[in-house]
């Protein structure tokens, strides 16, 4: 089998799973709301208390909400 065949199969499975995910409204809603609530509560609450210290290659202080956002996006994609 050629790599094109594998990519076509992967695209078909991905499209099918996206359709299933979007048709399940409750699952779609909860997958978006839970991380946004975490971001709202923890990032707002810890904004003034915590942050990531200045380390190379960064030359400025990194706010907690900027630090936690990529992890929350990964959590949305995984679950």
Tens of pLDDT, residues 34-51: 878 877 887 777 766 665
Per-residue pLDDT reduced to its tens digit, 70-79: 887 787 777 6
Within-domain flag for 12: no
Angle between helices 25-38 and 64-78 (to 10 degrees): 160
Peptide bond into 20 cis (omega under 30): no
Give the predicted TM-score (pTM) of the model: 0.44
Residue 61 has pLDDT above 90, yes or no: no
Query: CA dist 15 to 12, 22, 25, 78, Å?
Result: 5, 11, 17, 16
Residue 16 has pLDDT above 90, yes or no: yes
Instruction: State the pLDDT at residue 28.
Output: 76
Average pLDDT, the chain: 79
Within-domain flag for 73: yes
As for how many domains the chain has, the answer is 1
Within-domain flag for 38: yes
Within-domain flag for 52: yes
Query: Which residues make beta-bridge pairs with 63?
Result: 51
Please give the residue range of the domain that contains residue 53. Answer: 25-78
Within-domain flag for 44: yes
Instruction: State the pLDDT at residue 54.
Output: 66
């Amino acid at each position: 089998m050629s790599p094109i065949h594998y990519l076509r199969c992967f695209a078909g499975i991905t499209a099918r799973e996206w359709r299933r995910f979007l048709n399940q409204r409750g699952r779609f809603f909860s997958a978006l709301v839970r991380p946004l609530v975490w971001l709202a509560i923890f990032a707002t609450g810890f904004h003034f208390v915590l942050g990531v210290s200045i380390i190379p290659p960064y030359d400025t202080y990194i706010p907690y909400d900027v630090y936690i956002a990529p992890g929350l996006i990964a959590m949305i994609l995984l679950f």
